Amino acid sequence: MKDASKHMSAILRRVKENGYVLMLDFDGVLSPIVKIPSNARVSLVARRALAACVKKMPVAILTGRTLADIEKRVALKDVIYAGSHGLEWKMLGRAHRRNLSRNTLSEFAKARRALLKYSKLFPSLFVEDKKHCLALGYRSLSKKQVIRFRHGASRIMNGVAQAGTIRVVDNLYTFEIMPGFEWTKGECARHIFKTVSKKRSVAVYIGDTLTDEDAFRVFTKGGVTIRVGKDSASVAQYYFKSRSGVDRFLRRMAHA
């Protein structure tokens, strides 16, 4: 895993020669992580740089937020938006949704009900109940409560869901469930890239969570993958030490 800041000139030279499709996560990448997700905002620097990048090449934002939420929160025209970890997306003026099997939806609904009931035991939890995703943020819990909550939530998931039907992501103080592995953020990113890329375009993907690892794996060969925060377990090729590195990179991309 290489420091992207030290290799930025080489990356920029490559995308300038070949063109690119820029894909980014939202929370922790375009916006700082905040305790209350509804308070998340794109920095002014990032917004201006993104707007400049859109005029040159395709730009997509892929997030666990709903499609409606991310569209409203970013509010830039001609950007491709993908919500619910890629289960819904809007591209070239049309909205799309990935159809899931009846069994998967049934298992997800059962798991969702069980976790929502359990969450009432922890008043400080931040609950984001989205159509195809349930996120329980435990950043505000005490250390003892965190241990208790995570243990109980994992036990519930082991008891209510059939193996492989529900995906659990416990990362960045958030316990999140989503329908299986039928269609991941990586699959959605691949679809977007194939749809809008030109012959020699380079896929540039920037993320910071476990769901972004799906996209990192998709673009391991031929793409540029960057993680916000160094993690030896990540399959990303590069990393930024902090989110501020994303702003610097976008500014450079805007003028590449």
Q: Which fold has domain 2-98+183-254?
A: Rossmann fold (3.40.50)
pLDDT digits (tens, 9 = 90+) for 134-153: 999 999 999 999 999 999 99
Per-residue pLDDT, 209: 92
* Strand pairing report for 126-130 and 133-137: antiparallel
Query: Is the per-residue pLDDT at 161 higher than 70?
Result: no
Tokens found for residue 226? 């960057």
Tokens found for residue 187? 């699959």
- 5 CB contacts (<8 Å, ≥6 apart)? 240, 241, 245, 248
pLDDT digits (tens, 9 = 90+) for 18-71: 899 999 999 999 999 888 888 899 988 889 999 999 999 999 999 999 999 999
Average pLDDT, the chain: 92
Per-residue pLDDT, 51: 94
> 50 versus 100: which is more confidently predicted?
50
pLDDT digits (tens, 9 = 90+) for 225-245: 999 999 999 999 999 999 999
Report how far residue 6's alpha carbon sits from residue 231's, in angstroms, rounded to the nearest whole number.
Answer: 17
Per-residue pLDDT, 218: 96
Q: Tokens 């109980």 — which residue?
A: 152
Q: What angle do CA 153, 154, 156 make, to 5 degrees?
A: 65
CA nearest neighbour of 141 among 98, 173, 184, 182: 173
Report how far residue 196's alpha carbon sits from residue 101's, in angstroms, rounded to the nearest whole number.
Answer: 28
CA nearest neighbour of 216 among 240, 185, 191, 245: 185
Establish how many alpha carbons lie within 13 A of residue 224's alpha carbon, considering only the half-sphere containing its beta carbon: 26
Would you call 123 exposed, middle or buried from its count of C-beta atoms within 10 A (0-12, 13-18, 19+)? exposed
167 in Cβ contact with 211 (< 8 Å): no
> What order do you get walking across the sheet with 133-137 strand by strand?
126-130, 133-137, 174-179, 166-171
Q: Is 107 left (phi over 0), alpha (psi -120 to 50) or beta?
A: alpha
Domain ranges for the chain, please list them.
2-98+183-254, 102-179
Q: Does domain 102-179 have CATH number 3.90.1150?
A: yes
Query: Is the per-residue pLDDT at 172 higher than 70?
Result: yes
> What distances in angstroms separate CA 98 from CA 52, 81, 116, 187, 240, one per listed residue?
30, 14, 24, 11, 32
Query: Is the per-residue pLDDT at 164 higher than 80?
Result: no
pLDDT digits (tens, 9 = 90+) for 175-203: 999 887 678 999 999 999 999 999 899 99
Report how far residue 237's alpha carbon sits from residue 203's, in angstroms, rounded to the nearest whole number.
Answer: 13
Report how far residue 206's alpha carbon sits from residue 218's, in angstroms, rounded to the nearest whole number.
Answer: 13
* pLDDT confidence band for 222 (50 / 70 / 90): very high
pTM summary value: 0.89
Report how far residue 71's alpha carbon sits from residue 170's, in angstroms, rounded to the nearest whole number.
Answer: 25
Query: Is the per-residue pLDDT at 100 higher than 90?
Result: no
Tokens found for residue 60? 């997509």
Per-residue pLDDT, 160: 77
* pLDDT confidence band for 170 (50 / 70 / 90): very high
- 233 CB contacts (<8 Å, ≥6 apart)? none
